[in-house]
Amino acid sequence: MKKVTQTIGIDVSKATLDATIRTINVHKQFSNDTKGFKQIISWLTKQKINLEETLICFEHTGWYCLLLSYFLYENNHRYCCINAIEIKRSMGLKRGKSDKADAWEIANYAWLRRDELVPSTPPAKKLIELQRMMSLREQLVKQQTASKNLIKGMLSIVLEEAKDVSIHILKENINHLEKQILTTEKAMNELIKQDETMIENYKLSKTVKGVGMVLAVQMLLHTHNYTRFESSRQFAAYCGLVPYPYQSGTSIKGRNKIHPISDRKMKSLLSMSAISAIQHDKELKLYYQKRVEEGKPKMVVLNIIRNKIVSRVFATVNRGTPYVEMNKFLA
């Protein structure tokens, strides 16, 4: 990275941006829109900040930071959009919350790591569109699940299911939602096919046992089509799968623990993936059974398998060849 003499921390929320200049600890709040973005640059200029030697840093907050990322990138301002988990880990556990204080902590985080941070680039616009479709699918699935659960609750008090109007309406709604889910999934597939690299990585990831459509798409999104993380271990740490040592002073040392700060959605999806892989992958099934018989806690073994799945997906994508199950002929 070019010389950095100043770092700006921005705490991003839905409506506002809290910005702090680290060296002089000056804070100001702006609106989270194009007008606010322009005002930030004007404010920095008035503060006599050399923008060419400035690094702007903020947490990755999904949709809330997306427009800011595009604005900075298109106007040639260096910025780093950092995984919120990494920044929170660096801050440690703190009581209370202050947007102003968080902005300074982010600026300080960037300053301490200014020589190792790599400027960010916003995700491809096709990934943004894919994210919207996946969010829509998630909402449709939730609605469908809610309707199914409602039917289950009603069955205990309904005298004749076939004649009950409420159940009939709910069933029609479930069928309608199913059609919408399928239509959304078809649109997602068509969008992925428009990008050669995206469709290739998508297909490769699905060759790993336990990786279905939802996990394959979510990995595309969370890794920015496998450009956001340098290694599978970095992504595993982002998902909260990498154990860290637990030690207090020199006398108390416990088991390694999984960090509580993580991407819960990815962690949950990888847990379901690991359970599926244990059932359908002979190698992983034997590994799981052996380690459990040796006395390893089931959740510890499950986490090892989650890591194995992440490693396999990254390996297939990096090699550009499908995953081959080496022990597929095991009895």
**DSSP state letters, 139-169:** HHHHHHHHHHHHHHHHHTT-S-GGG-HHHHH
- What is d(CA 237, CA 309) in angstroms, rounded to the nearest whole number? 14
Cα–Cα distances in angstroms (integers) from residue 227 to residues 27, 146, 198, 221, in the given order: 33, 36, 11, 10
Q: 251 φ, ψ to 5°?
A: -110, -30
Among 86-90, 107-111, 119-123, 218-222, which stretch is predicted with the lowest mean pLDDT?
A: 86-90
Q: Residue 253's pLDDT is what? A: 47
Instruction: List the chain domain ranges.
Output: 6-112, 125-194, 217-319
In which band, very low, low, confident or very high, does the pLDDT at 329 lie, cut at 50, 70 and 90?
low
pLDDT higher than threshold 60 for residue 250:
no
Q: 150 φ, ψ to 5°?
A: -65, -40
pLDDT higher than threshold 50 for residue 322:
yes
Q: Residue 233's pLDDT is what? A: 93
Proportion of the chain in helix, strand, coil states, percent, rounded to 5 = 60, 10, 30
Q: Give the distance from CA 316 to its chain's centroid.
A: 20
- What is d(CA 318, CA 201) in angstroms, rounded to the nearest whole number? 9
- What is d(CA 122, CA 159) in angstroms, rounded to the nearest whole number? 57
Q: Residue 99's pLDDT is what? A: 80
Q: Residue 1's pLDDT is what? A: 63
Q: Residue 246's pLDDT is what? A: 45
- CATH superfamily of the domain spanning 6-112: Ribonuclease H-like superfamily/Ribonuclease H (3.30.420.10)
Cα–Cα distances in angstroms (integers) from residue 101 to residues 8, 13, 105, in the given order: 13, 14, 6
Containing H/E element for 71? helix 63-74
Cα–Cα distances in angstroms (integers) from residue 110 to residues 15, 80, 202, in the given order: 23, 8, 33
In which band, very low, low, confident or very high, does the pLDDT at 159 lie, cut at 50, 70 and 90?
low
- For 111-152, what is each residue's pLDDT tens digit? 999 999 999 999 898 999 999 999 999 999 999 999 999 988
Cα–Cα distances in angstroms (integers) from residue 222 to residues 213, 226, 238, in the given order: 14, 8, 10
**DSSP state letters, 35-46:** HHHHHHHHHHHH
Residue-averaged pLDDT of the chain = 88
- CA dihedral of residues 108, 110, 111, 116 (deg, nearest 10): 150
Question: Mean pLDDT, to the nearest integer, of 270-288?
Answer: 95
For β-strands 54-59 and 6-12, DSSP reports them as parallel
For β-strands 26-31 and 16-21, DSSP reports them as antiparallel
Which structure tokens are listed for 141?
């699935």
In which band, very low, low, confident or very high, does the pLDDT at 86 lie, cut at 50, 70 and 90?
confident
